[in-house]
Amino acid sequence: MRGIPRFAGELITPGSRRYDRARRVWNAAVDRYPVLIARARSTADVAAAIRYAREEGLALSVRGGGHSTAGLAVADGALMLDLSAMKAVRVNAPARVAVAAPGLTWGELDVATQAHGLATTGATVGSVGVAGMTLGGGTGRLDRLIGLACDNLIDAKVVTADGQVLKASEHPDLLWALRGGGGNLGVVTSLRYRLHPVSSAFVGFLAYPFDRAADMLRAYAQFSEKAPDRLALYAALETAPALPYIPESLRGQRFAALLALCFGPADDHAERILSGLRALLPPPAVDIAGPMSYLQTQQLSEGMAPEGLSHYDTGEWLGLLDDEAIDALVNAVASAPTRESVIVVKRMGGAAARVPAGETAFWYRHAAHKLDVQVEWVSGEPDVHREWVRSTCQAVSHASAGGSYVNFMGDGEGTDRVRAAYGGNYERLAQVKAAYDPGNFFHLNHNITPAGASRLTSSL
């Protein structure tokens, strides 16, 4: 294979020593072989790779942090445009703005912004890429306080399918679509974020034996209805890790846990919020509470998402969490095929829900909760795991707010479910897609068919 004209980054071909490592993504179940990996160093490299792929008739996949569980970053026979070496970050603290290159991870951006006591909503695991997460909407511990990641995206540099470099703020329809439309519009080579003063939280972790799971979810649902914006609240049903703060009797057993993070000072108000939650529940088996820095809160899930395991997950936006849904979730975890099967429910609302519906392409502002259903495995039958995830979502379909989350969709979910993930914004997104990518060159994503085109491709 000849080189890519005007491409100054690194080219990795099959047979090269670096190929096998470079084609790998976070989800070990994804084992695909691109014909070429182009590791870009600049916007000019990105434009050169796009032009080359078009001329050669190659499909193009885009890799940022490599955390899409569907494995969108890599495809058999495609050119993999790898942005992971583009790591520049600039923080303008007085203006409360950060400009991030697309190879940055949330852990890296958090460190850069926290040096100034500032933050923007980031993923709950530091190795997730900033661009992929933001383009899909971007939920995080701060979304009730300051909105989703995409709400804080104020500008972006985008290379379109014809190799043009656009400043998104000069194209309002493009900026609108980038804020929730996934990787459909072009390759983003720079993201400009609004920052907010956030540096600490009062954090509580309460855990219960599994026979209390339904009671705990009921208390979570009741309490979260009136939660203030400064509170981020998660409920999980999973297997208790062997960590020092988990009693021996719970370790390795299924258990139910609540994580409450009250951002701002560890004041009386924060303590009262946590006490209000405790008051709804019997005494927990684990009850830990105390102040943390924002960076510590962002590291709470480190180690819970190790690389190198096989994963499948999907999500559902929930309009409510009633007794029927709670029983379905508890029963699903009780009968899960592996102990590494996890259900996490996160309270939505707050600032993210107050952004007017038409302002961004992200649709599910009305959802009360975000449900993630995840399974990881080292060995065993993948279809059994996938079926468990899907049937768990189906079991709560009466409570659905209408669809899944672009950032948490598995592979092979089908075009109807992909369409539902963009909700009532799909038609407008299809119009913008037709304006910037009429031939659907960027189709290795949760794909939006350009308006006026027949379905050229489906999601992977």
Ligand X SMILES: Cc1cc2nc3c(=O)[nH]c(=O)nc-3n(C[C@H](O)[C@H](O)[C@H](O)COP(=O)(O)OP(=O)(O)OC[C@H]3O[C@@H](n4cnc5c(N)ncnc54)[C@H](O)[C@@H]3O)c2cc1C
37 binds ligand X (CB under 6 A): no
Q: How far apart are CA 382 and CA 345, in angstroms?
A: 24
- Our CB check for ligand X shows the closer of 246 and 460 to be 460
102 binds ligand X (CB under 6 A): yes
Q: How far apart are CA 329 and CA 347, in angstroms?
A: 16
Q: Is 182 left (phi over 0), alpha (psi -120 to 50) or beta?
A: left
Minimum distance from CB of 98 to ligand X (Å)? 16
Q: What track of x and - describes contact with ligand X for positions 179 through 198 (by CB under 6 A)?
A: ---xx---xx----------
Give the residue, chosen from 4, 100, 109, 135, that forms a contact with ligand X under the rule CB under 6 A.
Answer: 135
DSSP 8-state assignment for residue 222: H
Minimum distance from CB of 170 to ligand X (Å)? 18
In DSSP notation, 298-311 reads HTTTTTSS-TTSEE
Say if residues 207 and 255 touch (Cβ distance below 8 Å): yes
Minimum distance from CB of 81 to ligand X (Å)? 9
29 binds ligand X (CB under 6 A): no
Residues 6+ apart with CB under 8 A from 375: 311, 312, 313, 336, 337, 338, 340, 341, 342, 385, 388, 389
**Count of alpha carbons within 13 angstroms of residue 285, beta-carbon side:** 21
- Output the six-digit token pair for 44: 């000019």
* Beta-strand runs (E) in 168-305: 187-194, 196-197, 200-209, 231-239, 254-263, 286-293
Give the residue, chosen from 89, 165, 266, 305, that forms a contact with ligand X under the rule CB under 6 A.
Answer: 305
Query: What b-and-e string marks burial along 118-151, b requiring 16 or more CB atoms within 10 Å of the CB?
Result: bbbbbbbbbbbbbbbbbbbbbbbbbbbbbbbbbb
153 binds ligand X (CB under 6 A): no
Stretch that binds ligand X, among 8-16, 136-144, 231-239, 264-272 (CB under 6 A): 136-144
Give the residue, chosen from 224, 297, 314, 445, that forms a contact with ligand X under the rule CB under 6 A.
Answer: 445
136 binds ligand X (CB under 6 A): yes
- Output the six-digit token pair for 34: 């691109």
Q: What track of x and - describes contact with ligand X for positions 346 through 375 (by CB under 6 A)?
A: ------------------------------
Q: What is the largest CA-CA distance in the chain?
A: 68
Minimum distance from CB of 338 to ligand X (Å)? 17
Minimum distance from CB of 446 to ligand X (Å)? 8
Say if residues 457 and 440 touch (Cβ distance below 8 Å): yes
Q: How far apart are CA 42 and CA 44, in angstroms?
A: 5
Minimum distance from CB of 146 to ligand X (Å)? 14
- Our CB check for ligand X shows the closer of 210 and 239 to be 239
Minimum distance from CB of 99 to ligand X (Å)? 14
Within residues 45-84, the interface with ligand X by CB under 6 A covers 61-69, 72-73, 83
Minimum distance from CB of 66 to ligand X (Å)? 4
Stretch that binds ligand X, among 137-145, 222-230, 243-251, 328-336 (CB under 6 A): 137-145
CA Rg, the chain, in Å?
21
- Our CB check for ligand X shows the closer of 69 and 400 to be 69
Number of residues interacting with ligand X: please give it, by CB under 6 A: 37
Interstrand relation of 79-82 and 89-92 (parallel, antiparallel or unpaired) = unpaired
Minimum distance from CB of 385 to ligand X (Å)? 15
Stretch that binds ligand X, among 2-10, 122-130, 195-203, 418-426 (CB under 6 A): 122-130
- Our CB check for ligand X shows the closer of 169 and 249 to be 169
- Our CB check for ligand X shows the closer of 392 and 459 to be 459
Minimum distance from CB of 142 to ligand X (Å)? 10
Within residues 388-427, the interface with ligand X by CB under 6 A covers 407-408
Q: How far apart are CA 43 and CA 51, in angstroms?
A: 12
* Element containing residue 223 per DSSP (H, E): helix 213-224
Say if residues 240 and 234 touch (Cβ distance below 8 Å): no
Cβ of 357: how many Cβ atoms within 10 Å?
A: 14
Give the residue, chosen from 43, 139, 360, 449, that forms a contact with ligand X under the rule CB under 6 A.
Answer: 139
- Output the six-digit token pair for 391: 């049937």
- Our CB check for ligand X shows the closer of 149 and 328 to be 149
Which residues contact ligand X by CB under 6 A?
25-26, 61-69, 72-73, 83, 102, 123-125, 128-129, 131-133, 135-140, 182-183, 187-188, 305, 407-408, 445
